[in-house]
Amino acid sequence: MATPSLLLTAVSHSGARPEVDVKTKLTVSLQGRALLQDPFLNKGTAFTPEERILFHLEGRLPPRVETLEEQVERMYAQYRENHTPLEKHLFLRSLQEYNRTLYYALLNRHVEEMLPIVYTPTVGEAIQTYSTNFREPRGLVVTRENYTRLDAMLEEYDDTELVVATDAEGILGIGDQGFGGIGISIGKLTLYTLVAGFDPARTLPVVFDVGTDNQDLLNDPYYLGIREPRLRGEAYFEILDAFVTAFKKRFPQAIIQWEDFSRGNAFAVLERYQDQLPSFNDDIQGTGATALAGLIAATDHGRTLTEQKFLILGAGAGGMGVAWQVYHGLVQLGLTSEEARSRIHLMGRNGLMMQGHPRVEPHHQFFAKTPEDIAGWTFSGTIPSMLETIQQAGITVLLGLSGAGGAFSEEIVQAVHANTSRPIIFALSNPTHLAEVTPELALQWTDGQAIVATGSPFPDVYHQDRIFKIGQGNNTFIFPGVGWGVQAAGATSIPSELFTAAAFALAAAVTPERLADGAVFPRIADLFQANQQVAIRVAEKAAAMGLATRTPEEMQQALLEPEWAPVYRTYNPVT
């Protein structure tokens, strides 16, 4: 299929998602209490007098009929009565299980304020206390007791188009969280609906509860997951194979996002299933594309990217994803494969990743250095340290994905600054306390010359009579748009080229004003606009690669208008 022309009309830059046409009337079979208890259909005090009669709701609601806008104001006032981030998170989760439309309308109105509450960094604390604060069941829980009955279990779900699935062993920077990891799947799907307009009724959070090695959870009297050590090896993949087989049979066009698996399983799961159905791993591919986008924006929209030398601290899923996307970006900009590889230095906890070293795993091999690569270097140990690598390789870009808070010390940052007048320092580890360096210190140690980005939100920095805005390298700028573009194209698979395309699209969405203020990512308030541009580029790339199954007209319509928006419809009863 030829690449379609996907020239869209200008979109609003107000921060809010624009209004879209939606189906204004729905035929509804539920009534009475059952209707009020369905979060996808419940309108609460917004049910009209006529609907209250038709659906047997008289006497069940306060007399006053409110608009959605009035409900949003009421909910925001209640939200502000909660004091801690966790309290606010739990309030919003309760609202989500009561009235999906009102929940998303509230988030859409206050996206910049509430994104850190529904997602990182607060979602980490919510996951750690998931069993203690459990209220409503949500999603699909797959265990070794029920995986043989998945065909029957999935029959209970209507038309599903998007899944976020986790085994919860590598949650953010907090590791194995067992059953509570379903909270990350819920949170990610919230962002798909908020940012890209996926219908929440057609999304499904999934957790593979295969046990936990977290002793605190095993000792917790409130823990709701399986109290056994984690399954490994063939028994583990037997469960995932069964899920993929049953899911593909039931929902052959749906997208699966693999989320927060351990480093070893993350690569194995991605490689095992990426050709079986449209699927990707956000920790690997989404993180890589986000970082590449920031680097493109930081280097005059990529014009000087090929001149940089990169050190990536952290060789887990995120670090490897960044390494591969930087590599693909450099090759796309004209470097040979070997030239691109030579500029990327992968740093483990004990030093530079070297071939033949015991800690170098198969997925590290491509970027692990050989003795010939570092011929002429001087270093004190058996392998070069981070400081020695910076000095010997002439590193100009530091990328932190280690989960080691404070790992970029003053000596490290200044060593990079010695190699370049404008060092690029990305401290991308989450949550906030795990950032490798704070923006304030990075700017202080480089006399305000560093180009800084972080994974978690940080406030503006005042330095030398100037205010620096700190861009947040949040994967939410990438994965909703990738999903949207794949869905719009009906793409049959999601190769790495789509993420490289997404990175260049995101970089192009960074305005000159943001760059002048020091930020290499858009404002959080502009998530919709950025993701729409990502979706367009991803759909175009999928079509160019022959992966699209939808016509150019169908693709353009899907890209112009998200399929769902938080507005109330008029209900008609089943006759």
Looking at the annotation, which residues are catalytic? 119, 188
Task: From 433, 528, 550, select the one nearest 477 (Cα to Cα).
Answer: 528
What whole-number distance in Å separates Cα of residue 292 and Cα of residue 22? 35
Cα–Cα distance measured from residue 481 to residue 538, given in angstroms and rounded to the nearest whole number? 8
Greatest distance between any 2 Cα atoms in the chain:
84
Please give the single-letter amino acid code of residue 182: I
Tokens of 213: 């090695």
The Cα 232–Cα 235 span in angstroms is: 6
Residue 572 CB partners (closer than 8 Å, separation 6+): 25, 26, 27, 28, 54
User: Taking the CB of residue 235, how many other CB atoms lie within 10 A of it?
Assistant: 10
Task: Answer whether 263's CB lies under 8 Å from 318's CB.
Answer: no
Q: How many helices (H) and strands (E) does the chain have?
A: 23, 16
- What is the identity of the amino acid at 407? A
Nearest in space to 201 (alpha carbons), one of 189, 218, 187, 211: 189
Cα separation, 209 vs 163, whole angstroms: 16
How far is 416 from 310, CA to CA, in rounded Å?
10
* Residues paired with 142 in a beta bridge: 208
How many Cα atoms sit within 13 Å of 329 on the Cβ side? 37
| Residues 431, 480: Cα–Cα separation, whole Å | 20
* Residue 210 contacts residue 230 (beta carbons within 8 Å): yes
Q: Quick one: how far is CA 167 from the chain centroid? A: 16
